[in-house]
């Protein structure tokens, strides 16, 4: 099974991934956790470019193709081998991030981005995508606090530095894209407590596992 977590910055994806991983392992599943960008050896190098504050001169098109390269490598080296081994693999972000951030956020064509991602993922779309939804002001405040605490503002703060208007477009893009792909998306209000969020994610994950 392949599960992805999506959402704007500061929605609590990392916390929920840890919780669902522990739950699934307790239920007897072997679970791998990965992320984008950076889920492969080459991806780790691309992550340094994509998230660093020094990369503010990246064009929307260059940003897009770097993400696609990261994803193609990620699927080939990490995701597909895990699925074929019978594992549950959970990714912090995947192809939907590119469609939403570069499409609804940057203004590129979402239909074209879907087609390009079809090439990059080579048929490997998630079984379940959890969208953690939150007001952008609240999310950005959480994300910037985290980056400051972990001393990651320079190396991973490029998207947090984008305007509030950009993050509002991304949030609306996520909700639109989730509605268009409702058969695999599950939207959760990320303003709730971590425990409340987890109970909903757990119930949905169990439901999808039973129906596979």
Q: Which domains does the chain have, with CATH numbers?
A: 2-206 (3.40.50.300)
Classify residue 131 by its DSSP letter: E
Q: Across the strands, what pairs with 88? A: 31
| Whether 30 contacts 117, CB under 8 Å | no
| Whether 40 contacts 70, CB under 8 Å | yes
pLDDT score recorded for residue 148: 67
pLDDT score recorded for residue 46: 93
| Whether 67 contacts 102, CB under 8 Å | yes
Cβ neighbours around 118 below 10 Å, total: 12
Helix (H) or strand (E) holding 23: helix 13-26
d(CA 35, CA 74): 9
Q: Across the strands, what pairs with 186? A: 130
178: Cβ contacts below 8 Å, ≥ 6 apart: 129, 131, 185, 187
d(CA 94, CA 155): 20
**Could you state, in chain order, the average pLDDT of each consecutive group of 10 residues for the chain (212 residues)?**
95 96 98 96 93 86 94 97 98 97 94 96 97 91 72 62 87 97 97 97 97 84
d(CA 47, CA 37): 5
pLDDT score recorded for residue 162: 78
| pTM score of the predicted model | 0.91
| Whether 156 contacts 51, CB under 8 Å | yes
Which residue matches tokens 């956020």? 105
pLDDT score recorded for residue 55: 86
| Whether 139 contacts 167, CB under 8 Å | yes
């Amino acid at each position: 099974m392949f599960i992805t977590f999506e959402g704007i910055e500061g929605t609590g994806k990392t916390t929920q991934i840890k919780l669902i991983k522990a739950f699934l392992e307790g239920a007897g599943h072997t679970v791998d956790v990965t992320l984008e960008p950076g889920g492969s050896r080459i991806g780790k190098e691309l992550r340094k470019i994509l998230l660093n504050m020094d990369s503010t001169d990246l064009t929307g098109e260059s940003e897009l193709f770097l993400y696609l390269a990261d994803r193609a490598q990620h699927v080939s080296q990490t995701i597909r081998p895990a699925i074929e081994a019978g594992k549950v693999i959970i990714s912090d972000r995947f192809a939907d991030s590119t469609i939403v951030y570069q499409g609804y956020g940057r203004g590129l064509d979402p239909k074209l981005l879907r087609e390009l991602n079809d090439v990059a993922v080579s048929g490997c779309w998630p079984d379940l995508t959890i969208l953690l939804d939150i007001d952008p002001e609240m999310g950005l405040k959480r994300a910037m606090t985290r980056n400051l605490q972990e001393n990651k503002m320079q190396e991973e703060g490029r998207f947090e530095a984008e305007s509030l208007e950009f993050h509002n477009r991304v949030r609306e893009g996520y909700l639109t894209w989730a509605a268009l792909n409702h058969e695999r998306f599950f939207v959760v209000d990320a303003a709730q407590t971590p425990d409340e969020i987890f109970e909903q994610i757990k119930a949905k994950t169990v439901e999808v596992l039973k129906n596979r």
